[in-house]
Amino acid sequence: MTWERYIKEFLGFLKVEKGLSENTVEAYQRDVLKLYEFAIQRKLNVEQLRYEDLLAFMTELYDLGIGARSQARILSGVRQFFQFLHYNDYLQDLPTSLVESPSIGRKLPDVLELDEINAMMYAIDLSKNEGQRNRAIMETLYSCGLRVSELINLKFEHLFPQEGFLRVIGKGNKERLVPMNQYVADEINTYLTATRNHQNIKPGNEAYVFLNRRGSALTRVMIFTIIKQLAEDAGITKNVSPHTLRHSFATHLLEGGANLRAIQELLGHESISTTEIYTHLDQSYLKDTIMSFHPRNKKS
């Protein structure tokens, strides 16, 4: 078969069989297309690719200035592609089996203090039509620890304010229940009453909770823009994104004594190792903890 046919079947497998989101499938597609472009330039079909070719591919990524973390992600997507081909008997060998991922360090995102989160909330101009919507977005991201994709896809059928939880559709269409505190419920209700219920909504967008001025569902880019602008307005110099609020949510829970497994469930992580990255504690907190609770440090 041709490269195009292999890639089409692979993407179909990811979407239908594995149930991955559209954004995730598109990310895999970008990774495999980089390998496709490399192979086409050298007039190599899929079956002809060998270990040495993949090493040359990784070297080219490096020469193009692509960072180690991005190289590792691309290689991960390529590995998935070849595993799919091998599993379906399109290939006998896996040329990726001996290719090592580039070494990358764990770069931990910034954590916001509660005062900084409150400063971002206070920076919102409630005199503007989108003001209350942005307050509801901020509170939902921080208090519930949602991913951007989970926020923009939040629908009314996912809200259970009386019972105090949200039903979240996460990666791979996996569902989880996340507690919704009264702050979140109040901010969303105020947004609905003050703004959302008075909008002209475009057909097909009625089910979404958060809308733009034109009555359509919000995009990932718009959420990033909103959060970055609020951080700037609040005078915060840290690198702030929607993910920063999710990371802060997890870190504050751990600092408050929450169980790591419980945080894993709230974040929707399959692996506890992923949760450990999100819930990194700074050295000052660790020092305060050991000085307060270790028996050798307690005064008699």
Q: How many residues does the chain have?
A: 300
Same domain as 229, residue 118: yes
Same domain as 176, residue 270: yes
Same domain as 265, residue 193: yes
Q: Does residue 100 sit within a domain?
A: no
Q: Which residues pair with 176 in a beta bridge?
A: 168
Q: Does residue 108 sit within a domain?
A: no
Same domain as 211, residue 76: no
Nearest to 27 by CA among 66, 73, 69, 72: 73
d(CA 226, CA 150): 16
Same domain as 233, residue 130: yes
Question: What is the extent of the structural domain holding 233?
Answer: 114-288
Nearest to 110 by CA among 263, 270, 256, 242: 242
Beta sheet of 165-169, edge-to-edge order: 159-160, 165-169, 175-179
Q: Does residue 101 sit within a domain?
A: no
Q: Does residue 25 sit within a domain?
A: yes
Residue 300: per-residue pLDDT: 41
Instruction: Map residue 185 onto helix, strand or coil.
Output: helix
Same domain as 216, residue 79: no
Same domain as 279, residue 161: yes
Same domain as 41, residue 128: no
pTM, full prediction: 0.63
Which parts of the chain register pLDDT below 70? 98, 101-109, 273-274, 276-300
The catalytic residues are 147, 171, 243, 246, 269, 278
Same domain as 256, residue 220: yes
Residue 289: per-residue pLDDT: 55
- For residues 236 and 116, the answer to whether their CB atoms sit within 8 Å is yes
Same domain as 278, residue 223: yes
d(CA 4, CA 110): 41
**Boundary of a domain, candidates 52, 87, 122:** 87
Residue 41: per-residue pLDDT: 87
Q: Does residue 103 sit within a domain?
A: no
Q: Looking at the 3D structure of the chain, how many domains does it have?
A: 2
Q: Does residue 93 sit within a domain?
A: no
CATH of residue 134's domain is 1.10.443.10
CATH of residue 27's domain is 1.10.150
Same domain as 254, residue 168: yes
Alpha carbon of 116 to those of 147, 230, 239: distances in Å? 20, 11, 13
Q: Does residue 37 sit within a domain?
A: yes
Same domain as 250, residue 141: yes
What's the angle, vertex CA 106, arms to CA 140 and CA 249, rounded to 5?
Answer: 20
